[in-house]
Amino acid sequence: MIMIDAAGWGQYGTAIKEKGAEVFASDPDKNTVFSIHFYGTAGKDANTIKSNIDGALSSGAPVLAGEFGYKHSDGDVDEISLMNYCDQKGLGYLAWSWKGNGGGVEYLDLSNDWDGNSLTEWGDIFFGAMKNSKPASVFGGSSVNTTASTTAATTTTVTTTVTTTQQTTSSQQQPSVTLCGDANCDGIVNISDAVIIMQSLANPSKYGETGTDALRITAQGKINGDCESMGNGLTNKDALAIQQLMLDLISSLPVTI
C-alpha cells in the first residue's frame, strides 16, 4: 500500500480534493490511500476538520487521518471532534506518536516510557477515548470468521426474499445482485468498487445514480455495492468491507461489521 500525505506538511487537505482522484486513477493496482495530518491548521476546530475530510472524500479517494495530536506549535487541535467525525465517516486515524518526539514537540509522546507503563497527558486523552473500543472481529480467531460467513449467507437469502415480496405489486424488474461488492459492475471486486461507493455518497450530484459523471454509480452497482449488512443501502461501511476484503481481513462478502 502507498500512503500519500496531503501537501503543506500533510495539513492541506484541499490537495486531495483537487488531485486525489487523478493520482488514485494513475495507480494500476488501486493500492493508494491519502492521509491528512490534523494539527493546529487542519484540525483547529470541528468545522475545519469536517471541511478537510468531506473535501478529500469528495474526490472518491481512500482517506484517513494519518497523524494528529491534541496541540501543536501552530495551535490547539480539536482531537475529540476529529475522532468522532472519523468514526462517523468510517475512517481510520493514527495518533502521533508513541514516544521519541523532540525539537520542542515532546508533548506529542503518548507514553513516558517505551513499555507504556506511564502515559503522558496526550496518552491519557487518546487512550481514554479508546476505552470502549474492542479488537476487530477479524482478530478473534477462525470461529468468528466462520460465524460471520454463515450469518452473511443467511442474510443474503432473507434479503432476496423480502425484496421480491416488496416489488410484487409494482415491478418484476428489480435487479438482483450479480456479484456482491462489484459496485462499478466490471465483473471483479477491488478497491475501485470502494472508491465509487465513497464517490457516490460524498458527491451524489456527480457520482450518484442520477449524477452527471459518465462513470457514476448505476442502479445495479448500488445493489452489488450493498455488501455490508445487506439491505440497508449504500453506506461507508460497504466501502470499508471491500477494503477489508482486499487486505485479506475478511474472506468473502457480504459481511456485517
Closest by alpha carbon to 197, among 156, 241, 252?
Answer: 241
State the average pLDDT over residues 128-151.
Answer: 54
Q: Residue 145: what pLDDT?
A: 36
Q: Which residue has the higher pLDDT, 31 or 164?
A: 31
Tell me the domain boundaries of the chain: 2-96, 137-246
Phi first, then psi: what are they for 152, rounded to 5°?
A: -65, -40
147: three-class secondary structure by DSSP: helix
Statement: residue 139 has pLDDT above 70: no
State the average pLDDT over residues 67-77.
Answer: 95
CA–CA dist 155, 56 (Å, integer) = 33
* Burial of 232 per CB tally in 10 Å (0-12, 13-18, 19+): exposed
Q: Residue 184: what pLDDT?
A: 94
Query: Taking the C-alpha atoms of 234, 236, 237 and 241 in order, what is their torsion angle to the nearest 10 degrees?
Result: 100
* Contact indicator for 200, 238 with CB cutoff of 8 Å: no
pLDDT digits (tens, 9 = 90+) for 196-225: 998 898 788 888 999 998 889 999 999 999
Cell of 200: 457516490
Statement: residue 229 has pLDDT above 80: yes
State the average pLDDT over residues 72-77.
Answer: 94
